[in-house]
């Protein structure tokens, strides 16, 4: 039984603003709850006024590049079901970020993204987010492996006292995880055949079959774009370390960031609580190379604000204009130009 027109109208015009209020308030409380807020701001302001501002602006510009690349990935995936413009894909991605603020391990991302698609295509395209996530996770695991090897090689020099067995276990887990993600990514047809044997999934088979239509060429392109997006993350960290003048070598930053992303990818969390987790893990990893604890926390906070808070805030504003259900026979999901219209 479908939803009544009145209920659809209420959801269209009231749920968006309500979500914005909830998400904005959550962001506000999370920022205010951070310890040493005044001291952190004083350090940031001092460095920014003494040569750090250009580096910070570069990191912010790379945030746009980061989500722009993700929008290209999403557009390529959705193209197997229907064409959308880059602008719509970009707004869709930002809306997805806003939903990740309140869901474990950013699992609600697909909800925000599909709001920008027509009613009839939302469920089937939601499954496509899995391929995009697998491609990004594959790159994260691969880079994390390299970071682990680097840290293992320099652990005595850096004063790292953890036993080599622990590092070996982490490295083995990363290799195993990478093998599984690549197997799933390039053998999605095999997974579909397995799921076809599960009676409870019968109603979703048509959506799962859509995943099998993605060519290996597109999958390789997704991996390439994921790798490019990872390079953007790396550059942002290098920019922010330079912005606050934290004396850590480039190799140490790249390896430490790779291991940090690996840990964040496997630790259950929600984005609102991620800053605390990110700070603790950053202290452990980058603490191998510097004793400037506050500087490490400042880097974590700035990156979190640039890559998570700002896009989530923009996404929550975009949600206000989204119509979750089309009116009548119209296929438009928002007040924006029709799906498929290219700018």
Identify the band that residue 274 occupies on the pLDDT scale cut at 50, 70 and 90: low
Per the domain annotation, does 327 fall within a domain? no
209-224 pLDDT, tens digit each:
777 778 889 999 999 9
104 and 93 Cβ atoms separated by less than 8 Å: no
279-327 pLDDT, tens digit each:
778 888 888 887 777 788 888 888 988 998 888 888 877 776 655 554 4
Per the domain annotation, does 160 fall within a domain? yes
Is the pLDDT reported for residue 77 higher than 70? Answer: yes
Residue 305 burial class via C-beta count within 10 angstroms: exposed 0-12, middle 13-18, buried 19 and up? middle
Q: Tell me the two tokens of residue 78.
A: 């959705």
d(CA 297, CA 21): 28
Per the domain annotation, does 221 fall within a domain? yes
Minimum mean pLDDT range among 56-60, 63-67, 116-120 = 116-120
CA-CA distances (angstroms) from residue 74 to 10, 98, 158, 200?
A: 29, 16, 40, 28
Predicted confidence at residue 106, as pLDDT, reads 62
Predicted confidence at residue 220, as pLDDT, reads 93
Per the domain annotation, does 245 fall within a domain? yes
8-41 pLDDT, tens digit each:
555 555 655 665 566 556 656 655 665 666 776 6
CA 185-187-189 angle, 5° bins: 115
Instruction: Report CA 261 to chain centroid distance, whole Å.
Output: 11
82: left (phi over 0), alpha (psi -120 to 50) or beta: beta
Count of the separate structural domains present in the chain: 1
d(CA 280, CA 297): 8
What mean pLDDT, rounded, does the chain reach? Answer: 76
CA neighbours closer than 13 Å in the CB half-sphere of residue 190 = 7
CA neighbours closer than 13 Å in the CB half-sphere of residue 248 = 30
104 DSSP 8-state letter? B
Q: Which residues constitute the domain of residue 272? A: 5-33+47-76+85-319
Per the domain annotation, does 263 fall within a domain? yes
Is the pLDDT reported for residue 121 higher than 60? Answer: yes
| Bridge partners (DSSP) listed for residue 322 | 334
Predicted confidence at residue 102, as pLDDT, reads 64
Torsion sign, CA atoms 37, 283, 145, 251:
positive
178-187 average pLDDT score: 88
| Bridge partners (DSSP) listed for residue 334 | 322
Per the domain annotation, does 237 fall within a domain? yes
303: left (phi over 0), alpha (psi -120 to 50) or beta: alpha
95 and 112 Cβ atoms separated by less than 8 Å: yes
Per the domain annotation, does 121 fall within a domain? yes
Please spell the DSSP secondary structure of 180-243, one letter per residue.
HHHHHHH-HHHHHHHHTT-GGGGGGHHHHHHHTTS-HHHHHHHHHHHHHHHHHHHHHHHHHHHH
Length of the chain: 343
Per the domain annotation, does 314 fall within a domain? yes
Q: What is the dihedral of CA 61, 62, 67, 69, to 10 degrees?
A: 120
13 DSSP 8-state letter? I
């Amino acid at each position: 039984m479908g939803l009544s027109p009145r209920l659809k109208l209420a959801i269209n015009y009231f749920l968006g603003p309500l979500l914005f209020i909830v998400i904005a308030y959550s962001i506000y409380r999370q920022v205010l709850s951070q310890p040493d807020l005044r001291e952190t701001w004083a350090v940031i302001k001092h460095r920014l006024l003494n040569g750090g501002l250009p580096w910070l602006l570069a990191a912010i510009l790379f945030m746009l590049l980061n989500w722009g690349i993700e929008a290209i990935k999403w557009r390529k995936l959705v193209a197997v079901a229907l064409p959308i413009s880059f602008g719509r894909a970009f707004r869709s991605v930002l809306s997805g970020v806003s939903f990740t603020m309140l869901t474990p391990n950013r699992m609600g991302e697909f909800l925000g993204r599909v709001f920008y698609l027509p009613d009839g295509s939302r469920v089937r395209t939601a499954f496509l987010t899995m391929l995009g996530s697998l491609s990004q996770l594959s790159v994260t695991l691969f880079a994390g492996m390299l970071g682990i090897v680097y840290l293992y090689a320099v652990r005595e020099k850096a004063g790292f006292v953890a036993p080599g067995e622990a590092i070996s276990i982490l490295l083995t887990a990363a290799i195993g995880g990478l093998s599984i993600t690549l197997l799933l990514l390039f053998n999605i047809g095999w997974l579909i055949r397995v799921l076809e044997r599960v009676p409870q999934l019968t109603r979703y088979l048509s959506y799962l079959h859509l995943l099998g239509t993605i060519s290996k060429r597109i999958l390789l392109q997704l991996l390439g774009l994921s790798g490019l997006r990872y390079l953007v993350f790396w550059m942002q960290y290098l920019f922010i370390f330079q912005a606050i003048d934290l004396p850590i070598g480039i190799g140490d930053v790249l390896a430490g960031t790779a291991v940090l992303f690996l840990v964040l990818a496997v630790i259950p969390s929600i984005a609102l609580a991620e800053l605390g987790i990110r700070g603790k893990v950053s202290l452990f990893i980058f603490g191998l190379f510097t004793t400037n604890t506050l500087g490490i926390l400042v880097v974590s906070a700035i990156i979190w604000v640039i890559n998570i808070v700002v896009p989530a805030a923009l996404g929550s504003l975009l949600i206000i204009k989204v119509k979750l259900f089309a009116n009548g026979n119209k296929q438009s999901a928002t007040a924006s130009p029709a799906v498929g219209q290219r700018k």
